[in-house]
Structure 1
Amino acid sequence: MADSWMVQRAAGVVLHPTSLPGPHGVGDLGPNAYFFIDWLHSAGQALWQTLPLGPVGSGDSPYMGSSAFAGNPLLVALEPLVQRGWLAGSSVAADWDTARVDYAAVTPWRMQRLREAFAGFEQQATVEERAELTAWVLSEQAWLLDYTLFMALDQAHSPALWPDWPPALAQRDSAALAMARASHAQEIAFWCFVQWQFELQWQAVKSYAHSKGVRLVGDLPIFVAHHSADCWARPDLYLLDASGRPRVVAGVPPDFFSNTGQRWGNPLYNWDAMAQDGYRWWIERVRRQLHLADLVRIDHFRGFVDYWEIPADEPTAIKGGWRLGPGMALFDALEHALGDLPIIAEDLGIITAEVNALRERTGFPGMRVLQFAFSGDAGNAFLPHNFEPNTVVYTGTHDNDTAPGWWANCSAYERAFAAHYLGVDGHEAHWAMVRAASFSVARLSLCQFQDVLGLGSPHRMNTPGTLGCWTWRFSWDWVGPDLAQRLANITAASGRTGFNRLKL
């Protein structure tokens, strides 16, 4: 852990930018991102954790996007484009419902606004602005060239998946790709523009957060989507058949979340092929994520030890088997290339001694989730008195219910145990969980923003294995004037960074 702030006790909040308020149908990197950072600062919080920032994919999930490197176009705020004179203010006057993200409606609307902004850029951009875009494209071409061509071809051949494109394109014949780059040059230029704007806006948000003492925690899914620029550009790095379709897919066996497990459907890595060039793709992927965030949570850390392999023709995750992952060799390569790695290991689920051993060798902090703490006895590893300092504790994650929702829906045993442990009768149980997390020895303590707001189950971000998730948004009307100070006092009293004195 290279930065001193990472070895201090700190607290933060989990909220994906799409959940921010705003008039344009989905939360973005516009004014409300800055307002939220101001709120975090006023609440004494030193960390803002997001979900993956990449394009959303199947089921609107940020864990199933079209690129492991690109930013989500829906996060590009429209206000800066209007301010630059590239987008007419009248075209963004629509005031969308802020309660939920209606991806089916808002995605085409916002993409059309981005296309209008690109047309405005082409007509009005200064020489300096054009040079800035050109320089950025050159600096990111290692991933941007394949991504923008993939998006152009995807637009041209939708709804076909890439194995069903014309064979020369699906199999990446060099002459066919050259012709495609020429014939789709305008569409490629559009996608370069969108990613450039995402980069500028995100880095501005990051800089503002740093000015307020807030560091950004990113989220790196272990797997990528099959219909993605990554898989199409390097099919040799995945376990695919001759046509480019997955032979086996990723998931997890039956667990706390599902009796049939979770069949994620991502293609699985060809780890032998990745090892041959020293895990170069992974090095560039982690380098990119550490450019976007100060600290990165790697999802499904146990998959680097062994992972659940499911035959592609199986409808559930039940009939799968464990296969060996790359282990420490991958992290040795990452550390050799990138130095100290500010990474959180998501070590949830079925955790073996081998998984614990790998996490300890890397030195990464593991995760503890309070909602998992009360199903057993006092020896439960998720109870705060069993934590070690090199830990990140959460009241709940994006896959969990909200804290009030959990209290309402957990078993009678769990509720009774939690009542004794937390010293509550059910009234404001969410605050009791925030306090328990913050006063633990865990170095970092994070809570869902829904838990600060005291919201119930209808406000959870995701219910694994179901559709219609990832749409939650909040309204500033829900954020009472005392919430920031209440959270700040807990943070200060528990010795975490932020305010060091209570306001009485």
Structure 2
Amino acid sequence: MYLDREAGVLLHISSLPSKFGIGDLGPEAFNFVDFLEETGQKIWQVLPLGPTGYTNSPYSCLSSIAGNPDLISPEKLFEIGFLSKKELAQIPKCNIDMVDFAAMYNNKNKVLRESFKKFKTTSNENVKAEFHEFCDQNNYWLHDFAMFMAITEYYAQNGHNGDWLGWDESLILRKPEVLAEWDQKLGEEVLYNKYLQFIFFKQWFELKNYANKKGVKMIGDIPIYVAFDSADVWANPEIFQLDENMKPTFVAGIPGGNPDEEGQKWGNPLYNWEVLKERNYDWLVARLKKNFELMNIVRLDHFRAFDTYFAIPFDSETTTTGQWLQTPGEEILQAFVNTFGEELPLIVEDYLDITERVIQLRDQFNLTGIKMLQFAFSGDENNGYLPQNFDKENYICYTSTHDNNTVRGWFNNASDNEKLFLCQQTQTDGQNVNWDLIKMALFSKANTASYQMQDILGLDENSRMNNPGTPSGNWAWRFHWDMVTDEIKETLRDLTKESGR
């Protein structure tokens, strides 16, 4: 079993302490691994690592395979000689409580471009060899991505800040002779984007290897869909439902609670399942393979769509025109098994609006399900999210996730009946509700217990990571070490040990 009886923390890299405006892959990430080891935690779960677009959401990336250059550590660049001590010291300091995306991006972009200059003139033959090997091994996605980013930057510099449908038609349609011309025209920027990916993955694997040596497994996250404005769609239009002008015909979302209620229109292009089936789902397999290289375990977001997916006409202003359509989910999962073996190290989002078939697929392929404790306190003693009602061990039990309120924030807004039922179940007064739910998760039969860093720190709704459906203010929360007292570390360590994890 890839998940033993163990526990861990959900914290995205961006939420780490840092003086550079956003958490990164530098010393504080290694310090966090040390914190996990010290408190007996064996899991570190992060959100998708891809380069984020204008929404700053890790679930809407410019590539589903590339890494996010914003997470590159300037201190690590200094260590390999790609920044001077003076340049490192001159980086403007930013807000330590929240990510200031605009200031961070401006500062980080200058730093990364300066480091690129040093990379081009380096005499370090080992680094040069590593870079060429990286480019060769990742050519199946890297060059298209670097081209996409270079062309996007070119158009932005010339006043176009929209998606790639605003490019010249010959670029939209990827005419080979035109791509070759632009490759030569933007060669320096293409090389720069390859360099950023080289550095990102170099730093990531240093962190992952350190964590694994400390007995900490890394859990990653894959959204089932990709963003339209991405290298994925531009470079692989045939595997998506697009018309002859490359516009999506249908997009993803979810319906409202009843037929007349408005749901959420996410806008992601939907897959062309007929084409993918003819190719034995090769693109999906390659994407998962890359994520298995990066992570020990991967969470599949929106697993409901492996059974049926909600298709909304692209031009529709409402989700009420959408419909549920069948997905070849069993064939996709079998393609994964054929490539990676019977025991797939996958966690699946299998809660809320799901079907019996979703559960059947989960169990047929022995995938790890999710139990969310915030859903447990409806007042029903038979509620399936109460730990005493878990039907098996193959679950990861969360106190909360990035899409939920923090435990304390949820409790502050819970109904009186929910609060009363929770206090009855935990035999507490609710004053330390974050620890009550952490303890409940730890002592459950679920193989894995997981909690957000915000819950360990006892923070309220002002510290939630994401509020789905709200356009701004998300993905910015960060912690700093003076929040983590000796008492917190001791409590977490003792509870983890007492629970046999």
In the superposition, the TM-score normalised over structure 2's length comes to 0.96
Please state how far the C-alpha of 1:379 moved relative to its aligned partner. 1.7
Please state how far the C-alpha of 1:109 moved relative to its aligned partner. 1.6
| Partner SS, residue 447 of structure 1 | strand
Partner of 1:500: none
Looking at structure 2, the residues matched to 255 and 38 of structure 1 have their Cα atoms a distance apart, in angstroms, of 44
Residue pair 1:300, 1:348 contacting (<8 A) in 2 also: no
Partner of 1:462: 466
| Partner SS, residue 11 of structure 1 | strand
| Partner SS, residue 264 of structure 1 | strand
Please state how far the C-alpha of 1:309 moved relative to its aligned partner. 1.2
Residue 218 (structure 1) aligned with residue 216 (structure 2) = no
Partner of 2:402: 398
Partner of 1:75: 71
Partner of 1:131: 129
Residue 278 (structure 1) aligned with residue 280 (structure 2) = yes
Q: 1:210 to 1:458 in 2, by over 3 A?
A: same
Please state how far the C-alpha of 1:89 moved relative to its aligned partner. 2.8
Looking at structure 1, the residues matched to 240 and 57 of structure 2 have their Cα atoms a distance apart, in angstroms, of 21
Per-residue CA distance 1:417-440 (angstroms, 9 max, x = gap): 111111121210110000111111
| Partner SS, residue 12 of structure 1 | strand
Q: 1:445 to 1:316 in 2, by over 3 A?
A: farther
Looking at structure 1, the residues matched to 116 and 351 of structure 2 have their Cα atoms a distance apart, in angstroms, of 43
Residue pair 1:24, 1:92 contacting (<8 A) in 2 also: no
Which is worse superposed, 19-28 or 81-90? 81-90
Please state how far the C-alpha of 1:492 moved relative to its aligned partner. 1.2
Partner of 2:444: 440
Structure 2: runs of 5+ lacking an equivalent: none
Q: Choose the corresponding residue for 1:370, options 363, 370, 373.
A: 373
Looking at structure 1, the residues matched to 401 and 123 of structure 2 have their Cα atoms a distance apart, in angstroms, of 43
For 1:489, give the aligned amino acid.
Answer: D
Looking at structure 2, the residues matched to 383 and 120 of structure 1 have their Cα atoms a distance apart, in angstroms, of 56
| Partner SS, residue 319 of structure 2 | coil
1:473-492 aligned at under 5 Å gives the runs: 473-492=478-497
Looking at structure 2, the residues matched to 416 and 349 of structure 1 have their Cα atoms a distance apart, in angstroms, of 23
Looking at structure 2, the residues matched to 75 and 280 of structure 1 have their Cα atoms a distance apart, in angstroms, of 29
Looking at structure 2, the residues matched to 470 and 249 of structure 1 have their Cα atoms a distance apart, in angstroms, of 24
Residue pair 2:10, 2:46 contacting (<8 A) in 1 also: yes
Partner of 1:493: 498
Looking at structure 1, the residues matched to 336 and 12 of structure 2 have their Cα atoms a distance apart, in angstroms, of 27
For 1:211, give the aligned amino acid.
Answer: K
Looking at structure 2, the residues matched to 318 and 386 of structure 1 have their Cα atoms a distance apart, in angstroms, of 36
Per-residue CA distance 1:215-247 (angstroms, 9 max, x = gap): 000001111000000000011111112211211
Looking at structure 1, the residues matched to 185 and 120 of structure 2 have their Cα atoms a distance apart, in angstroms, of 18
Per-residue CA distance 1:278-318 (angstroms, 9 max, x = gap): 00001100000000000000000110100111122234434
Looking at structure 2, the residues matched to 23 and 495 of structure 1 have their Cα atoms a distance apart, in angstroms, of 37
Q: 1:174 to 1:120 in 2, by over 3 A?
A: same
| Partner SS, residue 312 of structure 2 | strand
| Partner SS, residue 55 of structure 2 | helix
Partner of 2:58: 62
Per-residue CA distance 1:137-193 (angstroms, 9 max, x = gap): 001101101111111111111313112211111000011111111111111110111
Looking at structure 1, the residues matched to 318 and 462 of structure 2 have their Cα atoms a distance apart, in angstroms, of 26
1:318-357 aligned at under 5 Å gives the runs: 318-339=320-341, 340-357=343-360
Q: Choose the corresponding residue for 2:141, options 140, 143, 148.
A: 143
For 1:476, give the aligned amino acid.
Answer: W
For 1:226, give the aligned amino acid.
Answer: F
For 2:26, give the aligned amino acid.
Answer: G
Residue 415 (structure 1) aligned with residue 419 (structure 2) = yes
Partner of 1:168: 170
Looking at structure 2, the residues matched to 242 and 368 of structure 1 have their Cα atoms a distance apart, in angstroms, of 43
Which is worse superposed, 446-455 or 158-167? 158-167
Looking at structure 2, the residues matched to 250 and 422 of structure 1 have their Cα atoms a distance apart, in angstroms, of 39
Q: 1:421 to 1:211 in 2, by over 3 A?
A: same
Per-residue CA distance 1:455-477 (angstroms, 9 max, x = gap): 01100000000122000001111
Looking at structure 2, the residues matched to 217 and 142 of structure 1 have their Cα atoms a distance apart, in angstroms, of 24
Residue 428 (structure 1) aligned with residue 436 (structure 2) = no
Looking at structure 1, the residues matched to 74 and 450 of structure 2 have their Cα atoms a distance apart, in angstroms, of 30
Residue pair 1:40, 1:484 contacting (<8 A) in 2 also: no
Count of residue correspondences: 491
Partner of 1:380: 383
Please state how far the C-alpha of 1:209 moved relative to its aligned partner. 0.4
Residue pair 1:58, 1:65 contacting (<8 A) in 2 also: no
Looking at structure 2, the residues matched to 113 and 443 of structure 1 have their Cα atoms a distance apart, in angstroms, of 43
For 2:296, give the aligned amino acid.
Answer: D
Q: 1:494 to 1:142 in 2, by over 3 A?
A: same
Please state how far the C-alpha of 1:365 moved relative to its aligned partner. 1.1
Partner of 2:25: 29
In the superposition, the TM-score normalised over structure 1's length comes to 0.95
For 2:380, give the aligned amino acid.
Answer: D
Please state how far the C-alpha of 1:85 moved relative to its aligned partner. 2.1
Looking at structure 2, the residues matched to 376 and 265 of structure 1 have their Cα atoms a distance apart, in angstroms, of 36
Partner of 1:233: 235
Residue 113 (structure 1) aligned with residue 99 (structure 2) = no
| Partner SS, residue 133 of structure 1 | helix
Partner of 2:96: 98
Please state how far the C-alpha of 1:9 moved relative to its aligned partner. 0.5
For 2:489, give the aligned amino acid.
Answer: A
Identical residues among aligned pairs (%): 41
For 2:417, give the aligned amino acid.
Answer: Y
Which is worse superposed, 416-425 or 200-209? 416-425
For 2:418, give the aligned amino acid.
Answer: E
Q: Choose the corresponding residue for 1:48, options 34, 44, 50.
A: 44
Looking at structure 2, the residues matched to 32 and 344 of structure 1 have their Cα atoms a distance apart, in angstroms, of 27
Please state how far the C-alpha of 1:261 moved relative to its aligned partner. 2.4
Which is worse superposed, 422-431 or 274-283? 422-431
